[in-house]
Structure formats: structure tokens, C-alpha cells
Amino acid sequence: MAHGLPPIGRPRLEGKVAIVTGAGSRAPGIGNGRATAVLFAREGARVLLVDREAGPARETLAMIEKEGGEAEVFEADVTVAEDCAAMAARAVDRWGRLDVLHNNVGIGGRGSVVDLDLEEWDRVMRVNVTSMMLASRHAIPAMVRGGGGSIVNISSISALRPRGLTAYSTSKGAVIALTQAMAIDHARDGVRVNCIAPGPVHTPMVASGGMSEELRERRRLASPLQIEGSGWDIGYAALFLASDEARYITGQLLVVDGGVTLASPAR
């Protein structure tokens, strides 16, 4: 169509092939990666569910297949270049193209520069930043062959409002810079690159750390909206950025936090 926008009333990712990294969940429940994969499939994408652990990714697959969607589990470690090359190749082999890369994998990292462990610092940078570079490096050529694509990177409000997780905050700040740099590098090839900064959403990532009900309630009340965010809130933001509805948006940071970074009683 002349305006290049998706037709009204059709699935929002119809005909697209997507890779979601970290598409399982570290514990039972709905993580950001799982929610995003389910929403992509619900809107017509065929989704490669990449995870280091096949078991949780298979649970995501079951959710998608139950709704009539199409997906496949791909066991891979996104910190390994060969795995990133293999996952892009698998998406193209199976479905003939690659349109969307959702870089969701990320791990926490506590402490200040004085007390953090150097090996831990390196690990956080590798898992949170280098993995996104590697996954993108191998996905972009396939996207370009198909006429363009969309990459969504998961940052965090920890990059904007640090709170004692210095390695994590630094890595998530790097994700924002990486997003902007890639957006410029690949714009001419029709590849858009954006990122999302989730706020304190309640996912297995935080719940599995043994969060008390009291802290959970404090997190809910910390946002001006006073509602608890979930993996679905992140997934819906990713769905928009991945789709052609966002065709005029690149290099941007979308904060999904109930307003926490603007005003919070904890400040």
C-alpha cells in the first residue's frame, strides 16, 4: 500500500518472522521474553524461541501452540557468536526470512565499583550488551535481504535511575547507546532499532529472588499510576515497535514504568 502502513483489521505482525531471545522464563510465570513471544505469535508472527534452557522455552511454545500460533524452540547461548549465527540461519531456513529480533536476555548485577567482583562485571557486560551486538550482527544481513526489519533491545530504568546495581545500570545504559548507534548504522537498509526500559514489573526475574509481599506492594505504590506492571506490558510495547505501525520510529527509548522515573515516593 502507498503509505506503507499495515492494513486495518489484520494481525499486526502478519507474514513476519521473529526471533525472541530469552523466550523462556527463569521460573514459572510470565517473564518479559515469554510475554513478548506469545504476543508476537498471537499477532501472526512465526517465532523462534531462543533460550539457553530448552525446558522453559518449550513451555512458551506450548502456550503459543495452544492459541494456534507457530513457533519453534532453539537452544542457544546468545553470548556465543556461533549460536547467534545459527539462530539467524535457523529462522531463515525454517521460514524463509527474518523481520524482527527481540533482544530480551539480561541478568542482574549488584554492588558499587568498589565492591563488585570484576569477573561478575565482565559477565554482566557480556550477557547484557555483547549478546545484543552478536545477535544483531547475525540477524541484520538476513533482514536486509528481506527488505528491512525491526530490532527491539531490552534496557532498564536502572540505566536512568541507578540504585546500587552499578554493573547492571552501566550495561543497560550501553544498551541505549548501542540502540542509537545501530539505528543510525542500519537506517539506510530499512532496519529500525529501538529499545524499551522496563520499570519494576513483576516477573519471575524479580519474584524468583524471593521478593516479599511487602516489597512487592511497595514497588506497586512506587509508581504514580499505582498499578503493578507485568511482562505483558513490556510485550505490548515490543509488539508496537516490532510492527510496521512504528515504521517512522528508530533509535528511541520507550520507558514502560507506570511513571516511576518521573516521580516516585521513594525519591
* 205 burial via Cβ count (<10 Å: 0-12, 13-18, 19+): buried
Q: Which of 254, 88, 253, 98 has its CA nearest to residue 178? A: 253
Residue 128 or 150: the one with the smaller Cβ distance to ligand NAD is 128
Q: Which of 233, 205, 226, 227 has its CA nearest to residue 28? A: 205
Would residue 236 show up in a list of annotated catalytic residues for this protein?
A: no
Q: Whole-number minimum distance, CB 12 to ligand NAD, in Å? A: 21
* 115 burial via Cβ count (<10 Å: 0-12, 13-18, 19+): exposed
Residue 22 or 69: the one with the smaller Cβ distance to ligand NAD is 22
Q: Which are the contacts of 146, defined by CB distance < 8 A and separation ≥ 6?
A: 97, 98, 99
* 3 burial via Cβ count (<10 Å: 0-12, 13-18, 19+): exposed
* Exposure of 218 in the CB half-sphere (CA atoms within 13 A): 8
Residue 171 or 243: the one with the smaller Cβ distance to ligand NAD is 171
Q: Whole-number minimum distance, CB 147 to ligand NAD, in Å? A: 28
Which member of 168, 182, 197, 235 is catalytic? 168
Residue nearest to ligand NAD as judged by C-beta position: 106
Question: Distance from CA of residue 125 to its chain's centroid?
Answer: 16
* All cell numbers assigned to 199: 520499570
Residue 220 or 247: the one with the smaller Cβ distance to ligand NAD is 220
DSSP state at residue 147? T
Q: Whole-number minimum distance, CB 107 to ligand NAD, in Å? A: 6
Q: Whole-number minimum distance, CB 165 to ligand NAD, in Å? A: 10
Residue 106 or 149: the one with the smaller Cβ distance to ligand NAD is 106
Q: Which residues bind ligand NAD (CB under 6 A)?
A: 21-22, 24-26, 31-33, 51-53, 56, 77-79, 104-106, 127, 131, 154, 156, 198, 200-201, 203-206, 231
* All cell numbers assigned to 46: 512465526
Catalytic residues: 168
